[in-house]
Amino acid sequence: MMSFMELFQLATHVGLHHFLLFSAILFAVGLFGLLTKKGLIPLLMCVELMLNAVNINLVAFNHYMPVYDYSGQLMAIFSVAVAASEIAVGVALAFRIYRDHGTVNVDDLDEMKG
Amino acid sequence: MEFPLLSTILIAPLVAAFALCFVPKDDREMIRRVAASATIFMLCLTVYAFFNFDTLEGGVQFAEKIPWVADLGVCYSVGVDGISMPLLLLVGVIGISAVYTSWNTEKRPKEFFILLLLLIAGVTGTFIARDLFLFLLSYELFVIPVFIMVLVWGSTKRLPKEFVAMKFIVFLLMGSAFMLVGVVLLYVNAYPAGERTFDFDALRLAGEMGRFSDSFQISTFPLLLLGFGSLLSMFPFHSWSPDGHAAAPTAVSMIHAGILKKLGAYGLIRVGVLLLPVGAKYWSPLIVTTAVMGVLYAAYIVMAQKDLKYIIGYSSVSHMGYILLGIMTLNATSVSGAVANMVAHGMMTALFFSQIGYIYERTHLRSIPELRGLAHYMPHLTIGFMLAGMTSLGLPGLIEFLPEFTIFVGTFGVYPVQALIAIFVIVFTALYVLRLLATLLFGPKDEKYAEIPDEQGASMVPLIVLGVFIVGFGLFPSLLMNVIDCGIEPLAPVFEQIANAPTMMGGVR
Amino acid sequence: MDALLGQVHALVAWAFSLANDYDVPSLIEAGVFFLFAGLALLFACGVIFFRNVVHSALSLTATFICVACLYLSIGADFMGAVQILVYGGAVAVLIVMAIMLTRRDNMAHSNPSRGLFRHAAAAVLTGLFLSGMAAVAILSPFKSAPQSLGDAAPGLADLMLSHYVLPFEVAAVLLLIAMIGAIVLAKGAEER
Amino acid sequence: MFDFALYHAWLIPLLPALAFLVIGLGTRQDKKKSAIIGITAIGASFLLSLGVVGAVLTKRLVMAAPFVMKTVWAHIGGMDLGMGVLIDSLTAMMLVVVTTVALMVNIYSVGYMEHDPGMGRFFAFLSLFAASMLGLVISLNFLQMYIFWEGVGLCSYLLIGFYYYKISAREAAKKAFITTRIGDFGMLLGILLIQITFGTMDFIELKTLVPQYIWISGTSFLTVIGLLLFIGPIGKSGQFPLHVWLPDAMEGPTPVSALIHAATMVVAGVYLIGRAYFIFAELPIVMNVIAWLGGFTAFFAATIAVTQRPFKRILAYSTISQLGYMMLALGVGSLTASMFHLMTHAFFKALMFLCAGAVIEAMHEEADIFKMGGLRHRMPVTFKCMTIGVAAIAGLPPFAGFFSKDAILAAAAEVSFPLYLLASVTAFMTAFYMSRLLFVAFFGEVRDDCPAQETNAFMRWPLVVLAVLSVISGAWGHFAGFGDWVFYGVHEEEAINWAIAGSSIVLSLVAMWLAYQIYVEKRWSSFQIARRLGVLYDLSYHAYYIDEIYAFIRELAVDKLGRLALWIDTHVVDGVVHGLGRLAKGVGAVLALPQNGDVQRYVAIFYTGVVALVAYSLFYAVKILSVTGGAF
């Protein structure tokens, strides 16, 4: 069993694991939201949270792992681009759905049910 | 590097299909001219290849090899040996016949011919592939055009064509799902990771090195058998085939019965028997028995059928039983008989279907009490039906006699009872073929056919092309047999090696 | 008094020894990390639990900014900038606009959630997921080797235009398509 | 000259084959050209055959020392399949018989088919038949023989069904093909067994291999082979129980009946056994079967012929009966007698058939002999020819049949008295029903409405030629030493056994007198006799109802079973398939339940999966870490 001191030392030396844990928690928060929210736009926000968590991982790996170039950050940038597209289309969709159905609550939207 | 003959043969229909995309859809003359010239070109090249095939040298000839997906060990590797060369010729012959049989397609000819050419290209690819991956790719590829063609240009008689198309595709894909598992198992077991390859020869080498243990072979062979067997319309997995023939447009029926079923048999030899000889040996008594049951059973069903396409459909199930019998008897004689019979039966069935297609196109009838006495007005059609019928019942001097005889010679010493039944079915074959011919062609005149023209011009092409090969190979079988013989020769050690392997019945057969 | 003084001395001595034992820069680093990480998580929870969707959106923006600060803290300046510009700016604005466009009534309860069962199930699933991921994160034997590679922007540009040029182009096309798609979707078919 | 013929013997079948090609592809529409081509080809073959005979006589090519030419036809799966020419005295005899009759029939057909639009087709088929038959005769091995055997079967099918618009002709053709196919099935099995046992099908090689085999392994397996081989001749040569096709085959044009179903093709079975006599002669059981089946068939067919009414049908049953004779002769071990009878029978039976053709044509397709009468006044040449034919078949000296039939009776008497008795009774009945035919059709009063006239020259001259042959071939063969040439084993000089010959002459004369009394003098009413005989007469008249029995069996074993199989296929086999389809649908419906359109549920399911995967990988990670001992 580690002593308090060792634990403290571990906690205060910020490293890759801190970021990984943080992004895991952030992702989990987003996931919880994704599972519990009703409105379409909050859902989109939760997705953004999860994407951000992923980006954090990428950047952190790039910083802490011996990779010697910026490919991790570059991945994150691509991810940002994809996320931006996603949010743009998502918002347009939400708007469209609202106009056609008068609601953005996902439980009212089950037309594709088999 | 020498001229890439096989790739040219493969690409010709693809180029034509591509060119057809730019032909206006109303210009039917142009469309069919393009399709016809592609298949004529193919036929010329395949005939050239066939007669330039060096039977003394043997082995794989006209080979080409280009690395493709290096990580998986996939190559674009083509070449023909004594087994695939005759089948490639078969593709060439049936290809041109199929195009000319569909000469008068009214409904969306452009799309029809594009799909037909794609189909031809797919089967060509399968026969010339020397790489298992390429083989499987082409193997799965042809299913799509067939499906669409049955769906769009098919005819609904006993069953709706949509249903039949679905049945067809489900059957084939189910079969190939099992087969795929088998192939992946082969691939993984042949070599350790990193050295893996799909090359046929390399896989065979692995087999010879003993990479496939006996128990592995025994458990994997049924998977391959399910895949190839269902394509080959092995009893009891045959029921898609007569329905498929009946619903499909004539050209598809021709290719389907003439080539696709042979593809199953070819795959069974190439992948099943060659790579897993011990497995094949183990299961052979069972398969031989079912094959013979299929031969007899399908022959019986033909007796009760009235629809021409069903008759030929079931009769081809019966004939494919002979081929399966020949393959699974696992000796050089019977297998060479089976390969020759693949060619023979392909040409015969194609001729039958093209003649049926001709008469169906003009009368929209195809059951025998309705069609009768055609000989009075259509001598050419009569010759076509007679030729096909006589070939079907194994008349000497026509292409199918010697292959069947060879199968019987090979089989009779190994499985006497099964062979006896199989040979007895030649009487049944004679019975149903002659009944069909008698009612269809002969008998009193029926005035309602007076207006229908006899085969002329383009519609004579299938009869002439197929007829030349049927009679030519029948009278001079060495043309065909020498090629097959040099393809079977390398198999002799394989058969010797398994001569003492156990079967499921226990002892040594 | 002496005793008190002695204690103060002792305390000071302890503090000094502490300062000697622990390198202060890393403590500061830890402080910064925990501050922004904590804030980010707090705001993230806010996104979920605020009743008013506008508050949620603001909270989300705050999360983004905190994450951007974290990026800056590990020397990823360019990423931080991108994070602030794209997420803190564009995405936030888009979301707020979407909210404005789809909600015209009372904003007080504009961010509804599911029932209790849903919450419980989601909590269980999320908890499992989190514990799994945390275990993975902790158990993974990564060696942290912080490195500074100099200025990020030129390095990124080099990569983007050499090795990753195809993905770059694809991303550009994707953005274009997304833009067109968004316009088409929002505009609607019946007005054409 | 003779050498040329010998070394070009392969041309004998090839010329008619070429004629078939030329007529079939070119001159089908032109009657005259087709006839000329056909006759020229067969004429050339005839001349070549004569040359071959000359060669055989000069080089003394008896059956033990044949002349062989050989080529590889195909090499497959380790088998060398040869084709070639085997010339010995037997072959030469058959070649001459076949080409002679074929030439005569070809010439006759010019007159007979004059008004038929399908004359070109007819000559094409005739040429094809001649080619196949001649190919069969010169066969070097069993496979070649089987090939041409099937070839003549095909020609027979095509020619029986020549009047394809007649349903009866169509059905008869089909029946002939299928019935002989059953025989071929047995024969094919026999050939396969020979190939498997000996590794060759060549007659010459087998001739040396078979005795060795018997020396080593005995005859039991060979007996099976022999019996199987014999099934082929049963079918082809119309032996009981596969004789049913031959009477129906009379639906074909009469020249065809003369050529194929009397003189040549039907004796192919006899010829096969003769050719493979080195196998059969070693197998006593098979020989007994052949002898008794032949004897029975001869008798059985004769009992049917007695009551038949159509001209050609009587001749057909008589052919079956005579073929039975030949088989009997083979079975009792006298190849010479059998082949001798084959030759004489070919001539006189062809003669009678051609007469029948002339009569039926003259009667405008009326075949019932009881509707004829007094034709001897109208058709004197035909009458004379027919009389010669009847005398020949009845075995009166000095006509051809006397010598050959006597040889058979003598051979039978040597081996088994019951067989001899059977043969004698048959000979008696043969004389009776042939005289009946002659007397009813040609004697008596000319009917008022009888349209008969003597036929044209094309049809007359072949009759005369064949009549001459029917007269002289027997005596000529006997005195010129037929038996010196065509024999198996050791040849024994056979003088005529006058006890047997005398009794058979007496029997024939009695039978003819009886027929004369009944049908010309009308001393006894034939109807009364028929009524007296009752059931026997009915049985005979309906050919023992064998056709009906076969039809019943076929209906039961083929058609009903076929329908059953179809039912099974559509309901059971397909039922399983469709059942599987429904099963898949059902499973699909169950699996579709979670997909109710609730996106969040999808997400939840997805992440459940993720959690499971994470847990799974963690499990292994921990395992690995515990091995490597590495935390971080």
pLDDT digits (tens, 9 = 90+) for C147-173: 766 777 888 888 888 888 888 888 889
Average pLDDT over residues D252-267: 86
Of the pLDDT bands very low, low, confident and very high (cuts 50, 70, 90), residue B1 is low
Can you tell me which residue has the tokens 């008869």? Answer: D172
Distance in Å, alpha carbon of A71 to nearest chain D alpha carbon: 25
Q: Is the pLDDT of residue B157 over 70?
A: yes
| SS3 of D131-164 | HHHHHHHCCCEHHHHHHHHHHHHHHHHHHHCCCC
Of the pLDDT bands very low, low, confident and very high (cuts 50, 70, 90), residue D632 is very low
Query: Could you tell me the pTM of the whole model?
Result: 0.79
Q: Give the span between the Cα atoms of B133 and B283, in whole angstroms.
A: 26
Average pLDDT over residues D460-473: 86
Average pLDDT over residues D63-79: 82
State residue D24's pLDDT score.
85
Sequence letter at residue D508: S
Q: N- to C-terminal Cα distance for chain A?
A: 54
Spatial CA neighbour of D363 closest among D349, D382, D350, D344: D382
CB contact (8 A) between residue B396 and residue D561: no
> Within a domain: residue C79?
yes
pLDDT digits (tens, 9 = 90+) for D180-202: 888 889 999 999 999 888 888 88
Please provide the average confidence, as pLDDT, over all residues in chain B: 86
Distance in Å, alpha carbon of B14 to nearest chain D alpha carbon: 35
Q: Is the pLDDT of residue C27 over 90?
A: no
pLDDT digits (tens, 9 = 90+) for D410-448: 888 888 888 888 888 999 999 988 888 888 888 877 777
Contact (Cβ atoms closer than 8 angstroms) between residue D308 and residue D226: no
> Within a domain: residue C118?
no
Average pLDDT over residues A32-40: 87
Spatial CA neighbour of B354 closest among B438, B430, B249: B249
> Within a domain: residue A114?
no
State residue C40's pLDDT score.
92
D399: left (phi > 0), else alpha (psi -120 to 50), else beta?
beta
Q: Which residue in A has a C-alpha nearest to residue C75's C-alpha?
A: A63
What are the residue boundaries of the structural domains of chain D, listed by start?
A: 597-632
Q: Give the span between the Cα atoms of B106 and B113, in whole angstroms.
A: 11
Instruction: Determine which helix (DSSP H) or strand (DSSP E) holds B302, and give its type and residue range.
Output: helix B277-304
> Within a domain: residue A112?
no
Cis peptide bond prior to D398, omega within 30° of 0: yes
Q: Give the span between the Cα atoms of C167 and B263, in whole angstroms.
A: 42
Q: 3-state class of D79 per DSSP?
A: strand
Q: Is the pLDDT of residue D464 over 90?
A: no
Sequence letter at residue B437: L
- Domain that residue C159 falls in: 151-192
State residue C190's pLDDT score.
57
Average pLDDT over residues D94-118: 88
Counting as contact any 3 or more CB pairs under 8 A, the partners of B are D
State residue C19's pLDDT score.
66
Instruction: Determine which helix (DSSP H) or strand (DSSP E) holds D101, and give its type and residue range.
Output: helix D89-112
Contact (Cβ atoms closer than 8 angstroms) between residue D355 and residue D369: no
- Domain that residue A72 falls in: 4-107
pLDDT digits (tens, 9 = 90+) for D276-287: 888 888 888 999
> Within a domain: residue B506?
no
> Within a domain: residue C143?
no
Number of compact structural domains in chain C: 2
Contact (Cβ atoms closer than 8 angstroms) between residue D392 and residue D400: yes
> Within a domain: residue A15?
yes
Q: Give the span between the Cα atoms of B25 and B17, in whole angstroms.
A: 13
> Within a domain: residue C52?
yes
* Residue D34: burial class (beta carbons within 10 Å; 0-12, 13-18, 19+): buried
- Domain that residue B458 falls in: 5-497
Number of compact structural domains in chain A: 1
Same domain for C83 and C158, yes or no, is no
Please report, rounded to a whole number, the percentage of residues in chain D having pLDDT higher than 90. Answer: 11
Residues 59-78 of A with CB under 8 A from C: 59-60, 62-66, 68-71, 73-74, 76-78
Q: Is the pLDDT of residue C62 over 90?
A: yes
CATH of the domain at A24: 1.10.287.3510
Counting as contact any 3 or more CB pairs under 8 A, the partners of C are A, D
CATH of the domain at C95: 1.20.120.1200
Q: Give the span between the Cα atoms of D138 and B441, in whole angstroms.
A: 34
Q: Give the span between the Cα atoms of D154 and D139, in whole angstroms.
A: 18
CB contact (8 A) between residue D165 and residue B427: no
Of the pLDDT bands very low, low, confident and very high (cuts 50, 70, 90), residue A2 is low
State residue B39's pLDDT score.
92
For residue B445, CA distances in Å to B373, B449, D615 come to 6, 9, 80
State residue A1's pLDDT score.
54
pLDDT digits (tens, 9 = 90+) for D300-320: 999 898 888 888 888 899 999
Q: What are residue A39's DSSP bridge partners? A: A105
Same domain for C12 and C59, yes or no, is yes
Which of A31, A36, A93, A111 should one mutate to test binding to chain D, selecting the residue with the greatest count of D CBs within 10 A? A31
CB contact (8 A) between residue D77 and residue B408: no
Touching, B vs C (3+ Cβ pairs under 8 A): no
ipTM: 0.71
Candidate from A62-66, A72-76, B434-438, D104-108 with smallest mean pLDDT: A62-66
Sequence letter at residue A70: Y
Average pLDDT over residues B43-47: 92
Q: Is the pLDDT of residue A25 over 90?
A: yes
Can you tell me which residue has the tokens 């847990």? Answer: D615
Q: Which of D177, D195, D569 sits opposite B409 (nearest CB)?
A: D195
Q: Is the pLDDT of residue B212 over 80?
A: yes
- Cβ-based contacts under 8 A for chains B and D: 149
* Residue C28: burial class (beta carbons within 10 Å; 0-12, 13-18, 19+): exposed
> Within a domain: residue A40?
yes
State phi, psi for B327 to the nearest 5 degrees: -65, -45
Please provide the average confidence, as pLDDT, over all residues in chain D: 85
Of the pLDDT bands very low, low, confident and very high (cuts 50, 70, 90), residue D66 is confident
Spatial CA neighbour of D99 closest among D43, D38, D17, D20: D43
Which of D598, D599, D608 should one mutate to test binding to chain A, selecting the residue with the greatest count of A CBs within 10 A? D599
D328: left (phi > 0), else alpha (psi -120 to 50), else beta?
alpha
Touching, B vs A (3+ Cβ pairs under 8 A): no
Of the pLDDT bands very low, low, confident and very high (cuts 50, 70, 90), residue C192 is very low
CB contact (8 A) between residue D192 and residue B423: yes
Q: Which residue in A has a C-alpha nearest to residue D589's C-alpha?
A: A114
Residues 575-604 of D with CB under 8 A from B: 577, 581
Cβ-count burial A43-56 (b if 16+ within 10 Å, e if not):
bbbbbbbbbbbbbb
Contact (Cβ atoms closer than 8 angstroms) between residue D422 and residue D299: yes
Please report, rounded to a whole number, the percentage of residues in chain B having pLDDT higher than 90. Answer: 16
Report chain C residues whose CB lies below 8 A from the CB of D617.
136
Number of compact structural domains in chain B: 1
Q: Is the pLDDT of residue D76 over 90?
A: no
Of the pLDDT bands very low, low, confident and very high (cuts 50, 70, 90), residue B509 is very low
Measure the CA dihedral D174/D176/D179/D182, to 10°.
-90
Quote the Cα angle for B277-B281-B287, to 5°.
Answer: 120
> Within a domain: residue A74?
yes
Q: What is the DSSP string of B49-116?
A: HHHH--TTT-S-EEEEEEEEEGGGTEEEEEEE-TTHHHHHHHHHHHHHHHHHHTTT--S-HHHHHHHH
Touching, C vs D (3+ Cβ pairs under 8 A): yes
Q: Is the pLDDT of residue B201 over 80?
A: yes
For residue B101, CA distances in Å to B32, B94, B351, B356 come to 11, 10, 10, 10
CB contact (8 A) between residue C138 and residue A21: yes
State phi, psi for C164 to the nearest 5 degrees: -105, 30
